[in-house]
Amino acid sequence: MRYAETGYNLEIDLSTGNIERVETDPRLTELHLGGLGTNAKILWDRVPPEVDPLSPDNLLIFSAGLLDGTPAIGANRTIITSFSPQTLLMGFSMMGGFFGPELKYAGYDKVIIRGKSPDLVYLWINNDKVEIRDASHLQGKGALETAEFIKEELNEPKVQIAAIGLAGENRVYFASIEHGRSSASRLGLGAVMGSKGLKAIAVRGTKDINIAKPDKFWEICQEVLKYIEYRLQNPIKGVPAILSMIGSPQEMMLHDEQWHTTSFSWGHARYRRKDFWNEEVAKNWAESQRNAIERLVSCYNCPVRCGAIIRHPSLPTHRYMMKCYSKLTYVMAAMTDDLAFGFKIAGLAQEYGLDGYTTPQVMAFATELYDNGILTDEEMPGFPSNNEERFFYLLEKIVRREGIGDVLANGVYWAARQIGKGAEKFDHNTTKKHEQMVIKLGMLNPLYFLMYATGEKGNITQIEGQIPQTPLPKGYREEFVKDWIQVPTGKEERFKRFILEWGDEGKSFPFWPPPDLVCELVDWQETMHYIDDATGICAGLSSFPIKPPYHIHNLSCLISAGTGLDIDEEGLWEIARRNRNLVRVINVRRGLRREDERPPEDHWKKRFPEYEEKLLDEYYKYRGWNREGIPTKETLEGLGLDYVAEDDMIKKEILKEGVSLGGTTVKATKKQ
């Protein structure tokens, strides 16, 4: 009997219409857990590095996390994985809501989609009955509208649906996949779904999931729930209010946005407005938010209401779901003071199926090019003079790929190079060809430098973790470290000292910690994310917030009790490291190198190039990678990834760097 997981994947070939229920190898669970880890293994085995992301030969994988559908609090993430049309690297985006657990209840851990349908279709998964259905009547409809149509058509009010809008149908490189309560929005996986002629996946399941040690599992879940209740009543002191609790940043509950609006940048990630926030703005924004929010909501099996249903009369569904920073992305990009504008355009963009982080930056980028004479009325006829109207104009052009929208639909990096005429210099906020958070802080943060530079997800929104972005005020540091139970075993004193001394003049690390300590802290942040992305536990309860209810100590016990596997902290850490390295070599095989690993140049006001290079060197060494960021043969074999080390392309790149192979150092010649 399989525990926690179903032990079956659903394989769909849209080119042939073939549908298979395939039993999975339990050994893969031991090695990778599930979710992102097993997704990566499938992509490595089945998608050659030369495959274009929008090719029928590419795979699109919808994976429920290993603990989805169990009593584990907040275990509800769907990990959607493919290759990104924006970065050309492995793209994975997490989606909350109810889809992942419903997929498990239907009897499947993953839906693996290959090929391309000649006509627009949707999948209907109803336990053991799986159909490919005609979706021609849904063409051009919004993602949320599509879900409502399918519910009515199937007469299944409890069906869970993931769908694309017009942007996905038209292969906009930053198209999202929408699921009512949540979105898989980053890295353009909606475009991959559209390229396959797949409008939606509808799932309904009524089966059970088995737990190996239900009493122990339930005991841990109750401890987690108790801690969540405690943290909701006891926010962290010394950090911005929206980050002081747990879940996603609590921007639906709170309207005080002084920190975001003064620390983050406006326009095309260029300008800071330190004088923006005042009493009048706060009052107006509070009123706009009260008028917009219908009610706060949670995802499956979670008591933390960090999302909100937004009323929007002009949408077909009259409402949509929003959480976190997305209420501000359009407002700040358009350089407007009107929060109501943000709620309106975000709703329209979500119906079209667009990423709420990239889209406003692309619009602001186009506006900058127009204001600087690089784009003119010839490319943008009838372009309005008001920024809010400009954004609505650009939204329609982009989703339809009309005129200049056909270029902008490829994202800032590719659009800048297609437009030319100096547009490249306005591409200053991308990393690995992907638009980053529009944050502008003062002093370089070494941890975030490494997470931005080396993160495989290509965006900080799915990397950042439990360490504050700036030093805590001195008066709060002692209290912070007093009950810091989440710290990994053996790291307590070093990590606590970091919090106590970071930012102080005259200490052993006056402005930043030494590189080796930075690497240890980053390793911890990344490890927690890779565990969450395999188990399906929401990052808002684990890897993202400060002092979360899930941590390295109780997660190993929870996973063991759920699956029946004997996994201790060290073993869990090794699995996360295995998954981390597997994703890295997939990207190396697709061309990722050291030169790609850099945060936006103006992300921090004060930068230190020599120190940053030293950080990168130290991090690669810490990871067991060579100077180009490629895992060595010893590292791969030590993690049970021998088959990766023997791949011809990886072997060639390792040899170029001259690393130890079986005790002998091999140096490559110029011919190699």
- DSSP structural state of residue 258: H
- Among 48-52, 475-479, 586-590, 668-672, the least confident range: 668-672
pTM of the model as a whole: 0.95
Question: Residues of 130-143 as b/e, b for ≥16 C-beta within 10 angstroms?
Answer: bebeebeebeebbb
Q: CA 187 to CA 92: how far, in whole Å?
A: 7
Q: Rg (Cα) of the chain, in Å, rounded?
A: 24
Residues 413-418: what's their mean pLDDT? 98
Tell me the average pLDDT across 311-327.
86
Q: Does some domain include residue 214? A: no
Answer yes or no: do 621 and 654 share one domain: no
213 within domain boundaries = no
Are 162 and 107 in a shared domain? yes
Residue 457 confidence (pLDDT) above 80: yes
Asked whether residue 232 is assigned to any structural domain, the reply reads: no
Do both 371 and 512 map to the same domain? Answer: no
Confidence of residue 98 (pLDDT cuts 50, 70, 90): very high
Write down the pLDDT at residue 408: 98
- Asked if residue 502 and residue 468 are part of one domain, the reply reads yes
Residue 49 lies in a domain: yes
- For position 665, what pLDDT does the model report? 32
Q: Is residue 580 classed exposed, middle or buried when 0-12, 13-18 and 19+ CB atoms within 10 A define those classes?
A: buried
Q: What is the per-residue pLDDT for 662? A: 34
| Residue finishing a domain among 414, 435, 456 | 435
Residue 2 included in any domain: no
The tens digit of pLDDT for each residue in 244-290 reads 888 888 888 888 888 888 888 899 888 888 888 999 999 999 999 99
Higher local confidence (pLDDT), 601 or 7: 7
Q: What is the mean pLDDT of residues 479-495?
A: 94
Confidence band, pLDDT 50/70/90 cuts, at residue 309: very high
- How many angstroms separate the CA atoms of 464 and 664, rounded? 38
pLDDT of 464 reads 78
Q: What is the structure's pLDDT at 552? A: 95
Please report whether residue 211 resides in a domain. Answer: no
Q: Which residue has the higher pLDDT, 433 or 656?
A: 433
47 plus 108 within the same structural domain: yes
Say whether pLDDT at 460 is over 90: no
Q: Which residues pair with residue 17 across a beta bridge? A: none
Q: d(Cα 420, Cα 252) in Å, to the nearest integer?
A: 40
Same domain, 391 and 502: no
Taking only the tens place, the pLDDT of each residue in 156-193 is 999 999 999 999 999 999 999 999 889 999 999 999 99
pLDDT digits (tens, 9 = 90+) for 196-226: 999 999 999 999 999 999 999 999 999 999 9
What is the β-pairing status of strands 110-114 and 60-64?
A: antiparallel
CATH of the domain at 390: 1.10.569.10
Q: Are residues 570 and 616 located together in one domain of the fold?
A: yes
Q: What local confidence, expressed as pLDDT, does residue 313 receive? A: 83
Regarding whether 570 and 507 lie in a shared domain, the answer is yes
Question: Would you say residue 664 has pLDDT above 60?
Answer: no
Q: Does residue 42 belong to any structural domain of this protein?
A: yes
pLDDT surpassing 90 at residue 654: no
3-state secondary structure of 133: strand
Residue 505 pLDDT: 64
pLDDT of residue 256: 83
Q: Are residues 571 and 662 in the same domain?
A: no
Average pLDDT over residues 635-652: 94
Residue 51 structural domain: 8-204
pLDDT of residue 511: 57
What is the C-alpha to C-alpha distance for residues 32 and 28, in angstroms, rounded to an integer? Answer: 6
Q: Is the pLDDT of residue 666 over 60?
A: no
Q: Given 435, 459, 479, which residue is the final one in a domain?
A: 435
Average pLDDT score, the chain: 92
667 pLDDT above the threshold of 50 = no
Q: Which backbone phi and psi does 198 adopt, to 5 degrees?
A: -110, 115
pLDDT digits 0-9 by tens, 385-413: 999 999 999 999 999 999 999 999 999 99
Total structural domains within the chain: 4
Residues in Cβ contact with 207 at an 8 Å cutoff, skipping those fewer than 6 apart: 6, 105, 106, 107, 127
Q: Please report the pLDDT score of residue 209 as a whole number.
A: 98
- Which pLDDT score, from 0 to 100, does residue 588 have? 97
Q: Are residues 306 and 420 in the same domain?
A: yes
Last residue of one domain, picked from the residues 435, 464, 489: 435
Q: If pLDDT is split at 50, 70 and 90, which confidence band does 507 have? A: low
655 and 593, same structural domain? Answer: no
Residue 340 CB burial class (10 angstroms; 0-12, 13-18, ≥19): middle
> What pLDDT, on a 0 to 100 scale, did the predictor assign at position 671?
28
Q: Please determine, for residue 659, whether its predicted confidence score (pLDDT) is greater than 50.
A: no
- DSSP, collapsed to helix, strand or coil, labels residue 457 as coil
CATH number for the domain including 591? 1.10.599
Supply the pLDDT for residue 670: 29
For residues 356-382, average pLDDT: 97
Does some domain include residue 222?
no
Own/partner pairs for 117-120, CB < 8 Å, 24+ apart?
117/14, 117/15, 117/196, 117/197, 117/198, 118/197, 119/197, 120/169, 120/197, 120/198, 120/199
Q: Comparing 135-139, 242-246, 409-413, 560-564, which segment has the lowest mean pLDDT?
A: 242-246
Whether 489 and 611 map to the same domain: the answer is yes
Could you tell me the pLDDT band of residue 307, with boundaries at 50, 70 and 90?
very high
pLDDT of residue 509 exceeding 70, the answer is no
